[in-house]
Chains A and B, each alone.
Chain A
Amino acid sequence: MADEFIKGLGIFTAAGLGWMILAGWYRTPSFESQEQLVSPVSLGDSATMFDTLGVMLMDAFFWFTIIGALTFWVVIPVIRQAREKLQERAQ
C-alpha cells in the first residue's frame, strides 16, 4: 500500500510541478492578476511551434496529475480489494 501511495504522490507532485510552470507561462497574464494559472489560454500571432507544444504538454501534465494520482490511490487499491473479496467468496 505504501508503495502505491508514494507512486501516486510522486506523479501528483512531479506532474503538478510541470503543469504549474507551463501554466505560469501560458495561463497567467500577470503575477499581480486575480486569475493566475487558470485564465484562458491566449496564444498570440507570434506563437511558435514550441508554444503550441507547450500548451499541449500543459494539458497533458494536468490530466496526468489527476488521472495518475487517482489510478494509484483509488483504482489499483479498489481492484486489489475486489480481487481479494472475490477469492474469499470463491473459497
Chain B
Amino acid sequence: MANTGRISYAQLLETNNLLQTVTDETYWLCVTRTVQESKLFPVPPYMLLSYLNAFYRYPSLLRKIESRMSAEEVGDRVRTMGIKCQNPAVGWALPGFYLLGREWLINMGLLRPVDAVEDCIYVMDFWKRFQLSWHRNDGHITNREYGHRSQILPERRLQVFETDLYRCEAGDGLHIAASQFLASASQYGFLISCESRISLSNSGPYKLGDNSEMIVRDFMDLAEGDLPWLDGVAAEVPYNNLTVPMMVKDCHFYLVDDWGSFESEPEFRAENIAGVGLYTSDPLTEGYLPVGMASRDELIETFNEFNEVCKDATTKLWKRIAGWTRDQMIDAGALTYFAICKDLAHVAGVYEHEDWMLIDERAERFRPLLNDEFSRDCLGELVGLLTHPSQRCNEYTMMQHGDGPTRMYTPIPYSILDGDGYTPSSGPVYPGASNLPPKEDRYRTSQGILTLAEYNRQVREFQPMAQKYRHLDETWVKFNYDTPLADEMYKLEQARSRKLEGRGAGLTRADLEQFAD
C-alpha cells in the first residue's frame, strides 16, 4: 500500500522517537540488571514465543480496550491500584515485547521495517498516552526519563499510606512477620510468573523525612484468576493483588527502574524497614483497600497467615509445574510474559481468556525452532549483544550506554511518506491454542469469586467515585486546597484510613506527625 495520507511525518517522527526511547532503556536494563535463568523453566524459548504473540496480538487487543476506554483514561483509573499496569507491565513490556517480536521477524526475513506500520504507530501511541497519564504526577513518560524514579501517587494517597503505617524495627513481631511475608510472597511471585519478576513491582521512592523514604511494593496475580495454572493451588489465597508500602530508614533509593526493581545506598536490607502497611486493589475497588490494618496485632496475624498461605501455594504449584511437559512450561512462561499488560483489558471490562491466554497460531508456527541453545543465542543477540543484522547501524553511530554502532529496534523508514509501499497491519487476532489444562471459570476479585462474564459486567458498570476528580491534579490542589471540592476529594481517599478519616485537604507532612503511633 502506498501512503494515502493516513500517516503524517509528525506521527512517524514521534513513533520513531518513542521506539528509540524504549530501545535505549531496554538495552540498559538488559545489560546492567540481572540475567534471568532457570534450570526448571526454558526461559529464553518462552520469551521468544511471547514476543511473537505480542507482535501479532497487541495491536488488536489494545484497539479492543480502547473501544471501551481510552488509554489515558485507563491510566487515570489505575494510578491508585497495585495491578499489572505498573512500570514493568506497561511502562516497559508493552512496547518492548511488541518491538522485540517485530525485530526478530525482520531478521528471519518475514517482515520489513515498512510492514504493519499502522500497528506500530498505534501501539507506540497507546503506550505514550497511557504512560503520560499514569505518570502524570511526576510529569514523565518513563522512570528512565525521571532519572529512574517513579512518583506516581498523589499527596492524598501518600498521606494515608504514611500515616497509617505501623512502625517497626528489626527483631520485633511486626518486622519479623512482614519480612517473612515479603520473602515468601516474592518467592511465590517468581514461581507464579515462571521465573520472571513480573508479579512484583516497586515504585517510588517518596520522601518521608530527612532520613526516611517510602517504597511501594506490589504483588500481583496471586490468587485464582487469569493464570490457568493457579486454579486449585491458589484457592486459599484470599487476595489477587497485595500492596505493601514500606517506610525505609538510613537508605536512599537512588534508582527505581522500569522493571520495578531498585538500587539503594547503602544496600537495602530488611533491617532498614521502619514501617509497613498492607492493602489490596483491583478494577472493582475504589483505589486501595486496607487489609488487616485495624490494629498492629491484626497486621502481624495477617502477615503470618499470608506467609503460610504463600508457602503452601508455592509447594502445590511447584509440584504441579514439576509434572509439566516442556511445551506446557513454554506456554505458561510465554503467556505470563505476553499477558503482562492484560489488566488494561480488565480495567476496560473487555478481558477475554481467548485473547490473553492462548498462543496465536501465527506465533505457534515458530515453536519447533525454540530449542534451548538457539533461543539463548537468538535472545542474547536481540537484547544484549545487538548483533542481529537489522541492529547494525552506520559506523559513526555510538548508541546510548553501549557506544557501539547498534540499535535494538529498527525505526520505520520515512520513505513511506514518499510513496514507498508499506503494509498497515498484521491483521486481527487469529485462533490460538494452549497445551495447558483448560481455565476454570473462577476469578478472585474484591467482590468475591466471580465468573469472567460477571467480572466483566461488574467492571463495566463500576463507576469509581474518584473519576469525578479526574482532572483535579496536584497543581490544582496546590492552589485550591482550601475549597470544599478539594476537601471532598481528600476525604474520599481518607475514607478507610485508620488515622486520617475525614481530615480533609489541609494537612501537610508536619501535621501528620501528631497522628503517628
To the question of whether A and B form a pair in one complex, the answer is: no
